[in-house]
Amino acid sequence: MANHKSALKRIRSNNAKRLRNRFQHKTTRNAIKKLKELTSKKEANKLFPEVVSMIDKLAKNNIIHDNKAANIKSKLAKHVSAL
């Protein structure tokens, strides 16, 4: 168990951040799956900017690596243009 007040606070804040990161990451993954399942180009073009924005936010907050974000966005762009 932690011995200092600051360590206790750090445990609480780390847990809160972990839960927030998990929620954001899972929400983004679900949005990516939804985009990949679309067959209509019009709907895909509408959803694509929102998904890219979510991916950028994850990369900005170091939840995922910048290169992984770029790879995901590239694959999604290819998928949307191929519809």
Q: List, for residues 50-75, the tens digit of each pLDDT value.
A: 999 999 999 999 999 999 999 999 99
Domains along the chain? 5-82 (1.20.58.110)
Closest CA to 29 of 64, 77, 74, 80: 64
Contacts of 33 (CB under 8 A, 6+ apart): none
pTM for this prediction: 0.82
Average pLDDT over residues 12-18: 95
Residue 64 CB: number of other CB atoms within 10 A?
Answer: 19
Q: How far is CA 1 from the centre of its chain?
A: 33
Q: Using DSSP, state whether 3 is helix, strand or coil.
A: coil
Structure tokens at 50: 């929102």
